[in-house]
Chains A and B, each alone.
Chain A
């Protein structure tokens, strides 16, 4: 159980950090649309973010509407706790 919590926290921290990095890069690129270095950084971190999100979703439930997970007997998007009540936070 403890191992699970640690892994959940680790994956969530990675998602938070990677999503934040891509958000910062997106906002930078909006005003620097021809900065090719920044564009490569974005693609790199965005790819990593996608991977970690898939892993988190498979193990702990969905956080994105377009990645509901594979579960066929429970709509976890609705049954999992909200982020301010012990969910993805």
Chain B
């Protein structure tokens, strides 16, 4: 189960409003490669995982992604809370504003609402771990794209932190896959699904 700590994992202190940045950074809240997808993906994939170390990786990283979700929301909130009506009306943010004012609602920058099609939980451990490694790379690229657009160091700072976390998480999922490979038959890793087939993952030939 989960506890909440009344603290952001990394500080977010943005003093200059910016509708244009808010419009794109919201993608890391509810977009296809964002933190909501990441946390739901990893936390959903845990059930049925027969190896506790791999379930531990999914739990701990999935939990950290919830903390990142909170940080992204804090960034968008601070970028928008002091916007004037003129700034809103003259920006691409006005479409979001009309439906949500400056509330936080999970959607991609392009407007597609967050939905479960943005992640997969395939129930096959090899497949899910590759999904997770790909997810971390996609998130990293999204942060790269955001970083190219930012000149304000107050925004840059937490975004750079979030991006670096993706690199570390990629490594951990890759290591989880190595641990799994150890437990499977290297002559044919795909002979069975360790989450579903009972004759699986016993190092038998």
Contact = CB atoms under 8 A, between A and B. Distances in A.
B48 interface: no
B64 interface: yes
Given A16-B11, A27-B60, A88-B7, A83 B74 contact: yes
B77 interface: yes
A12 B8 CA distance: 10
A4 interface: no
A58 interface: no
A16 B178 CA distance: 31
B57 A31 contact: yes
Contacts of B168: 24, 27
Contacts of B12: 84, 89
Given A31-B179, A84-B12, A15 B7 contact: yes
B25 to A, nearest CB: 14
Interface residues of A, number: 27
Given A16-B10, A89-B11, A84 B78 contact: yes
A83 to B, nearest CB: 5
A27 B78 CA distance: 30
Given A66-B3, A84-B74, A27 B11 contact: no
A12 to B, nearest CB: 7
Given A83-B6, A89-B8, A27 B77 contact: no
Majority SS of interface residues in chain B? helix
Interface string B6-31: 11111111000000000000000000
B61 interface: yes
A30 B56 contact: yes
Given A24-B168, A66-B3, A88 B57 contact: no
Interface in A73-89: 77, 80, 82-84, 87-89
Interface in B117-137: none
B184 interface: no
Contacts of A65: 3-5
Contacts of B74: 83-84, 89
20 contacts: A16-B11, A19-B5, A20-B9, A23-B64, A27-B60, A27-B168, A27-B169, A30-B56, A31-B175, A63-B5, A64-B3, A64-B5, A80-B6, A82-B6, A83-B8, A84-B8, A84-B77, A84-B78, A88-B8, A89-B7
Given A30-B57, A31-B178, 6 more contacts: A16-B9, A27-B60, A31-B53, A64-B3, A83-B6, A83-B7
The 8 residue pairs across chains A and B that have the minimum distance between CB atoms:
A84-B74, A31-B175, A88-B7, A30-B56, A63-B6, A30-B57, A83-B8, A63-B7
